[in-house]
Structure 1
Amino acid sequence: MKILIVDDHPVVRDGLAFLLEDLFEIEETHFAEDGREAIVKALNHSFDLILLDLSMPEGMDGMQAIGELRRILPHAKIVIFSMYDEEVYQRKAYEAGADGYLIKQLKRDELVEQLKKIIHGEKLFANQQIVEKDGKVMNDKKTPWDLPLTQREKDVFILTVFGNSQKEIAEKLGISVRTVENHRRNISNKLGNSKRSYWIEFAKQYNLLDIY
């Protein structure tokens, strides 16, 4: 079995690899720090199992990557492995095409058992009510992945909400201050307001403060 572990924390990646290689017949183990790197890996390798963290603030998160990974590797088992157990995130992952949603707080034996079930074709989520017989999920709650912004605009948006200056944002994202200004202008146009206080309320509405 070939696996891909996607997480922005090296300790988590290494720990998962050690656990899986000890309990499964692993042929190859690859790593990625965010969704974009995972997509590049998927274009160059064939994986049987992909474990994705949900929140990777410095790059494309797991939720955003699911659809493209599913398109590239339609037969791979794609599993969100996250510390967040909110139903709204599980539903979004299910809709995006994930085969499972497991919580990082699981005990070792529970994690292994649930992964075995997913590998053998079972759809397994922390809240099994997510999986409906007709394969459809109704979700009227807003999530960070519904935010009407591009990924780069979202990066600038959340860094602004957390009080970073334009110069600080430019340094963290490796872009120019002028580019940050342009992104902020586009965000203001999309949201209809340029005030940071409004952006903070908007972030709360989309549950961004819970995940970043």
Structure 2
Amino acid sequence: MWRLVICDDHPLVARALEAALEDFPEFRVVGSAVSGHALIDLLRHVDCDLIVLDYAMPGEFDGVALIAYLRRVFPAIPILVLSGQASPALVQRCLRAGAAGFARKSQNIPLLIQAMSRVVRGMSHVDNGLSADAIVPLDEALARLSVREMAVIRLLLSGSTVSGIADKLHKSIKTISTQKQSAFRKMGIKNDVQLYQLAHLPAEPVRSGSGAEP
């Protein structure tokens, strides 16, 4: 039997998953937490084989920072990230920080159990359609662009709007919008959120080792 700890700021999520697992006796929930700090305290007192972690929770200690800390302090426990928001760039951030798998919160229970089973056995898992393999570093993505497209993307990343970029470059809003969409296609992204996620990907995977709790 695999021992499971759930971390989600909505207690009902943990209860719903625990109830669903009654039909899957290979897993047993041994604890739940509603914040990153509560999870760390729980892991110091409870032995478990898998952490199912909500990516976004209230407070400063969540997401990539929490994943990286867990990998340093509890390197033997694999992490499966659950998220209501999902994109290849977000998946890449989580995997580079040390997560072993990524699944959507909207995933049905049998597929979620499949993800848990893979991760707890030392394999990786990413939901279909979220493969991080196509994500490339920002510099490499920018190298695919024309000079004008690159200028538009860099101004977007500096906080400028399309209309603001049009003013700065003395072009029409339609021209800037066209260059922006062309750049997005070449970079393999679809919107501004994915652009910012790509720009903030960690440069290197986080290595496990010792560390003090923030």
Q: TM-score range by the shorter chain?
A: 0.5 to 0.7
Distance 2:196 2:73 in 1: 29
Distance 1:21 1:62 in 2: 28
3-state SS of paired residue (1:47): coil
Distance 1:56 1:123 in 2: 23
Distance 2:28 2:111 in 1: 23
CA-to-aligned-CA distance 1:141-167 (integer Å, 9 cap, x gap): 9xxxxxxxxxxxxxxxxxxxxxxxxxx
Is residue 2:128 matched to residue 1:130? no
Look up the match of 1:140. Answer: 138
Is residue 2:47 matched to residue 1:46? yes
Would the aligned equivalents of 1:36 and 1:59 in 2 still touch at CA under 8 Å?
A: no
Would the aligned equivalents of 1:99 and 1:118 in 2 still touch at CA under 8 Å?
A: yes
3-state SS of paired residue (2:44): helix
Q: Classify 1:129/1:58 alpha carbon distance in 2 versus 1 (closer, same or farther; 3 Å).
A: closer
Would the aligned equivalents of 1:5 and 1:50 in 2 still touch at CA under 8 Å?
A: yes
TM-score calculated relative to the size of structure 2: 0.58
Q: Classify 1:34/1:72 alpha carbon distance in 2 versus 1 (closer, same or farther; 3 Å).
A: same
Look up the match of 2:25. Answer: 24
Look up the match of 2:161. Answer: none
Letter in 2 for 1:62: G
Distance 1:131 1:205 in 2: 16
Look up the match of 1:3. Answer: 4
CA-to-aligned-CA distance 1:4-55 (integer Å, 9 cap, x gap): 1000001111111222343133455211111121112222222201011011
Would the aligned equivalents of 2:88 and 2:130 in 1 still touch at CA under 8 Å?
A: no
1:57-206 maps to which residues of 2 (within 5 A)? Answer: 57-58=58-59, 60-126=61-127, 127=129, 129-130=131-132, 138-140=136-138, 206=196
Distance 2:130 2:194 in 1: 27
Distance 1:59 1:3 in 2: 24
Look up the match of 1:145. Answer: none
Letter in 1 for 2:40: I
Distance 1:72 1:58 in 2: 20
Would the aligned equivalents of 2:101 and 2:125 in 1 still touch at CA under 8 Å?
A: yes
- Which residues of structure 1 form unaligned runs of 5+? 142-202, 208-212
CA RMSD of aligned residues (A): 2.7
Letter in 1 for 2:30: T
Greater share of residues in helix: 1
Look up the match of 2:170. Answer: none
3-state SS of paired residue (1:55): coil
Letter in 1 for 2:81: I
Would the aligned equivalents of 2:30 and 2:46 in 1 still touch at CA under 8 Å?
A: no
Residue 119 of structure 1: how far off its partner (Å): 1.9
Residue 81 of structure 1: how far off its partner (Å): 0.8
Report sequence identity in percent: 27
Residue 64 of structure 1: how far off its partner (Å): 1.9
Q: Classify 1:26/1:106 alpha carbon distance in 2 versus 1 (closer, same or farther; 3 Å).
A: closer
Would the aligned equivalents of 1:39 and 1:65 in 2 still touch at CA under 8 Å?
A: no
Distance 1:84 1:37 in 2: 23
Would the aligned equivalents of 1:123 and 1:131 in 2 still touch at CA under 8 Å?
A: no
Would the aligned equivalents of 1:34 and 1:59 in 2 still touch at CA under 8 Å?
A: no
Q: Which is bigger in relative contact order (C-alpha 8 A, separation at least 6)?
A: 2
